[in-house]
Structure 1
Amino acid sequence: MLLNWRKRPGQEVELNDILVDIETDKFILEFPTPATGVLAGIIKNEGDHVSSEELIAIIERRDGPGAPASAHEA
């Protein structure tokens, strides 16, 4: 279950920033951002149940300084 989004849509994120807290039967996990860019959208809300490999957010990735953004799934 998604507990708490640490970033909001429109915020810039860095690789490995903590993006969201996810609760399992045994643990609370801090899920890191998989890419540097901007959090373009949240697909799953706090309190939603999710499974592994499920799309929860979209990050517009930056490949380097001044590079155009591309979509990346979190």
Structure 2
Amino acid sequence: MMIDKSARIRAIGRPTGNIDGRKRPIREVNCQGCGEKIKSTDDLSEVEYVKTKRGSEFFFHAACRDRVWQHGIC
């Protein structure tokens, strides 16, 4: 099953106060590995998404995967 990561970020992220070309709000989340902001309008091909059994949702860069699992965040 493919998840629309941009839609998930728009659903749970913090508002930035801007809108995109389709008049949708731009929202952002932090990468769980490095802390950088990931916006709903960014290229999300290198962004991973995990939803835990308890319902928490995490976004992180593919390059940060080892940091996320090493620190036991997920």
Query: TM-score band, normalised by the shorter chain?
Result: under 0.3
Quick check: which one's helix share is greater? 2
**TM-score normalised per structure 2:** 0.26
